[in-house]
A and B are shown apart, each in its own frame.
Chain A
Amino acid sequence: MRNALAVYVREIKSYFVSPILYIIATVFMLVVGNSFKDYFIRFAMMTMQALRQATNSGGEVPLFNINSYVATNMFAFMNYMFLLIVPLLTMRLYAEEKKTGTMELLMTSPITTTQVLIGKFFSCLTIYFFMMSLTIAFVVIMMIQSNGKLDWGPIFSSYLGTFLLGSAIISIGMFFSSLTENQIIAAAVSLSIIMGLWLLIHSARYITPPYNDLISYFSLSDHLDSFTYGFIGINHIVYFISMTVFWLVLTGINVESTRWRQ
């Protein structure tokens, strides 16, 4: 535990001393913020138009749900952004250590591969959580603009979904980082695998039942929708956790096996 904590602290520090995290976080906030602004303005226009129509015709003012018009879209966009960003956060985890030779320090110290793995995984997950938390600013804006009428359930479940998605794609990124000592390759390959798993649901359409269900079950996106609508399904939680564990175990096996594969 203490060993894993030492690795965790080192990794977190290492994220904060390199400029890459700040650049990624800034770009992330700019892009997500811009899309939030677009959704929000569209929502405002729509409500204004409806209000005008209602006063002109003397009818009742329809109610618009800010959750479904703005929050849902924002979360969908944020999740998509994370798919692109996470490979940049995970690429260095093992590849850099292999390149600089520090892997030899870890492999010859009395610390298990699993402890290193856990330290690294949770450090990246913490960074992910940190970036995700930055978007609370948008939630606060929504809360103020809707006079506190924001539905908190879907907001919370959406965050949970994003977080679970994060743990799954971080573990995928870690695995591909452990395969190579080239960070660019690690990022590129994890991005394509993550994207492949994300878009897998679209290919399910062209496959005959019952295999289409199987294919879509493996798709990351299939399991995320219900979270944005405020539904927390145990099956979806199980999917993300087992996805995480699967790739982490694979990473652990791969790292440990380098001892005899060389």
Chain B
Amino acid sequence: MIEVDNLTKYYGTKIALDKVSFTVRKGEVLGFLGPNGAGKSTAMKIITCYLSPTEGSVKVDGLDVFDDSLEVRKRIGYLPETPPLYLDMTVKNYLEFAAKIKGVDKKNLQESVDTVVDKCGLSQYYRSQCRALSKGFRQRVGIAQAMVHNPLVLILDEPTIGLDPIQIVEIRHLIKSFGGEHTVVLSTHILPEVDMTCERVIIINDGTVVAEDTTSNLRSRLPQTEQIYLEIRGNSSQLLSKLEAIQGINSVNEDKCSDNIIIYEIKADNKTDVRPEIAKTVIGENLELLQLKDVSLTLEDIFINVTMK
């Protein structure tokens, strides 16, 4: 659906994107990850025809963003970093205006607006001025604006920024529900968000793509030790040394909490699963096993790993 080929963008002499290439398949939800200033927004602005690339090409639905700009824009819904609201308009008037300039037919106009108002949970603020809305609701109006013409592609620049935790969950569900029907590209630096909403991730740093894969593949690609979290109740002075003796375990860190509860942080090879062995040892010592879990690598680790290289 989106083909980005050797995309390069200079701001003056400063390079923002350096030969970036990737593709986004139809119906996919793609996460665009990167530290501040990595070039996420720039890439999105080029895909949405807001900026022209210095070199390289971007095709959306087979159409070039430079040659068929208007056609591409019909197929794209875009939420910029700050929602582009006319503060003196009501939500109703604003969405109607957005629908009109995005080429929604007169007879479908009301229906389109009602649909997005419903989807984005805006009905209670339908007649309020945008000026009166909180940050979170402005963000929702921004998302509603982006999808009012039912576009093939949705480009969302940090869609959950400034929202409260409940709203974040709602917006994530909303975005996830777009997948399949719409192609979604969203940028963020909140990593769990990518984990929850995206099927595939592109990590971008200093204007270049440093990693591109599914989240689970990215995890397994890293040669890392496994971390295991163990929580027991009881008193045993021998457990620590017995745990250290298990084959595959590299190091054990003991941390005494309150009331006989001891927490162990165990580092092991990821070749063998040492958890059954740990459980047996704990039971063998006549201790109560409260928790035993695999603390696998988070996207943060991957992120730091690939961007620091």
Contact = CB atoms under 8 A, between A and B. Distances in A.
A18 B145 CA distance: 23
Contacts of A3: 100-101, 103
Interface string B113-124: 000000000000
Interface string A75-102: 0000000000000000000000000111
A112 B70 contact: yes
A103 B86 CA distance: 10
Interface in B265-307: none
B76 interface: yes
Contacts of B101: 3, 6-7, 105-106, 109-111
Contact of B85 (A7, A10, A102, A107): A102
A110 B70 contact: yes
A10 B74 CA distance: 21
A97 to B, nearest CB: 9
Interface string B78-112: 10111111111100010001101111000000000
A17 B49 contact: no
Given A18-B88, A110-B103, A6 B97 contact: yes
A260 interface: yes
A101 B84 CA distance: 5
Nearest to B88: A17
A111 B51 CA distance: 15
A6 B100 contact: yes
Interface of A: 2-3, 6-7, 10, 13-14, 17-18, 100-112, 259-260, 262
Interface of B: 11, 48-52, 70-71, 73-74, 76, 78, 80-89, 93, 97-98, 100-103, 145
Nearest 10 pairs between A and B by C-beta?
A105-B84, A6-B100, A260-B52, A110-B73, A110-B74, A102-B84, A108-B48, A104-B80, A101-B82, A109-B101
6 contacts: A13-B89, A100-B86, A100-B87, A108-B78, A259-B50, A260-B51
